[in-house]
Structure 1
Amino acid sequence: MMSLSALDIVIADDHPIVRVGVKAFLAEQPIRFRLVGEASSGGELLDVLHSTEHVDVVITDFAMDDGGQDGLRLLRRLRQLYPSIRIVVLTMLTNAALIRSVQALGVRCIVGKRGLHEHLALAIEAAIKDRPFLSPELATLLEETSEAQINSDCEDAQSVLSPRQIETLRFLRSGMKVSEIAAVLNRSKKTISAQKKAAMAKLGLTNDAQLYEYLQNNFER
C-alpha cells in the first residue's frame, strides 16, 4: 500500500543533466516525492544507501560508466542488500534481451529516458505497488521481439556484423583493450576503434557500459 507521506527517493545517474532533470521533476511534487540522496555511479549509490536512514525508491540509470560496476551486477546487489527498496530503472537500451535480463532480476519498472518526465511518476507508483511498468516504446519493443529472437540475439548480431567486427567484439568480450587487440591483429588502434563503433551502432548500443552488458549476456567468447 502506498504511504500517505512523501516517498523517500534516491537517484543515480552518471549524467548530471539527467540528475538535474529528475530532481526538478521530483521537486515539482513535494507532497508525493522527497529526494534524500543522489549518486553519479553504482559505487556511490551503494554508499548513499548505506548511510541513508530510510529509502522507499531508487531511481537508477542502467548503464553508468562505473569502472566495472555493470548494470546487472548493480541491480543484483541492490536486490540482495536492500530487498525492501523499490527500483525504477532509467535506460536508453533498445536491446530486448537486456531488458528481459533486468526483468529477470525482479526489477520490473523500466523507463526510457526519452519519455522520462511523462512516465516517471507512473513508474514510481507502480514500483511502490509492486506492479510492472514499461515505457510504451519498451513495451512495444518486447511485443515486437519474439522469445526466439531474444534468445538468439547473439546469432542475430553475427548476421548483421562483419567478420572483423565480430572478431573485435570477441576480443573485447575476453577482456582485452582496444590497444591490445590492435597489437594482436596487427592493425591500428583507429581501425579497431572504428570497428567497435560500427558494431555498436548496428547493435543499437550507445556507450561502453551498454556494450559491456551486451557482450556479457548475449555474445559468446
Structure 2
Amino acid sequence: MNNQLANIPAINSGSLSSGSHSWALIMDACPMTRAGLCAVLKRSLFRTGEIVMLNRASDIPSYITSNSPNIIVMDLCGENESVLQGLRSIASCQQRWPHSPIVICTTLTDIRFLYQVKLLKILSICHKHDTLQELEHCIDAAMAWSYRDSPAIQQLFDCRSSHFSVLTSREIDVLTLLFAGYSVSHTALKMQRDIRTISSHKRSAMAKLGYRNNYELFSRGKWMAKNGLFN
C-alpha cells in the first residue's frame, strides 16, 4: 500500500470543532501514510466528517476530550514510541470510548504482536502493503462493527495457531522498563515493587508471548523495543 499512498494527494485534516458530530482519527508517524489514509477515508467512506491526524499513539487518549470519533485508524506505535505504548493506548481507547471502532494498519508481521492485537478484540487489522481496496474493505467492516482482517494478515494467523494470552498493564510496564535497559532489580526499585513480584510479571509475560528464556525475549522480541520515526 505504501507506493499507492505516495500517489494520493494529501488532504488537510479537519480540526475538531465544538459540537462536531462526525469525525475520524488517524494516527501514524509517517506523514505520507497519514495523508493517504485521510484520502481513503475522504473519498470512499467518510465524505462528510472531519478527520484529525496525530503522529503518536500516546497522544490519542489526551486528545479526545468530548465527542468520541466514529472510527480510529492507527499504527501500533508513533514517533519515538514502542508497540507496548500502542497496546496501552488501544486499551485506554477501548475503555474510555467503547463505541469507537479501531482499525490497525501496520507494517509489523511478528505473530506475537498480531495475537496481542487480536486478543484486544480489534475489529480489523491490515498491512500497509495491502491494496487500497483491501484497506477500504477493512475500514468499512469496522464501521459496521464487523470483524475483518486483510488477506495478508489472515494468512499469517492461518499459518500458526496460538495459545498466547493478552498482556496485563503491569506486564506491559515491566517489559517497557526491561527493554529500556533496566535490570529486574532496578525495575523493582523504579516501580516500587518487590523484586519477586517483578520477576513473576516478567515470567508471566514471557509465557504469554511464547518466549522460553531471556535470550528469546530480547533477541526475538525486537518488535517491543522503541521504533524510529517510520517504525
Q: Same fold (TM over 0.5)?
A: yes
Equivalent residue number for residue 99 of structure 1:
114
Shift of 1:54: 4.7
Q: How far apart are the structure 2 equivalents of 1:207 and 1:147?
A: 19
Equivalent residue number for residue 71 of structure 2:
57
Unaligned runs of 5+ in 2: 1-20, 166-174, 183-215
CA deviation map 1:71-115 (0-9, x unaligned): 111111111111111101111111112111111112131110111
Unaligned runs of 5+ in 1: 1-5, 152-169, 178-198, 212-221
- Which of the pair has the greater relative contact order for Cα pairs under 8 Å at 6+ separation? 2
Shift of 1:128: 2.0
Q: How far apart are the structure 1 equivalents of 2:24 and 2:160?
A: 33
Shift of 1:116: 5.2
- Say which structure is richer in helix: 1
* Length, aligned pairs only: 164
Selected match of 1:129 from 139, 144, 156: 144
- TM superposition score normalised by structure 1: 0.62
Q: How far apart are the structure 1 equivalents of 2:45 and 2:145?
A: 22
Q: Secondary structure at the match of 1:89?
A: strand
Q: Secondary structure at the match of 1:76?
A: helix
Q: How far apart are the structure 2 equivalents of 1:204 and 1:176?
A: 14
Going from structure 1 to structure 2, the CA distance change for 1:206 and 1:18 (only over 3 Å counts) comes to farther
Q: Secondary structure at the match of 1:141?
A: helix
Report the AA paired with residue 74 of structure 2. Answer: T
Report the AA paired with residue 69 of structure 2. Answer: V
User: Aligned pair 1:138/2:153, yes or no?
Assistant: yes
Listed as ranges, the matches of 1:1-221 within 5 Å are 8-29=23-44, 32=47, 34-50=49-65, 53-67=67-81, 70-115=85-130, 117-147=132-162, 173=178, 175-176=180-181, 203=220, 208-209=225-226
Q: Is the 1:12–1:39 Cα contact (8 Å) retained in structure 2?
A: yes
Report the AA paired with residue 173 of structure 1. Answer: L
Report the AA paired with residue 58 of structure 1. Answer: I
Q: Is the 1:38–1:48 Cα contact (8 Å) retained in structure 2?
A: no
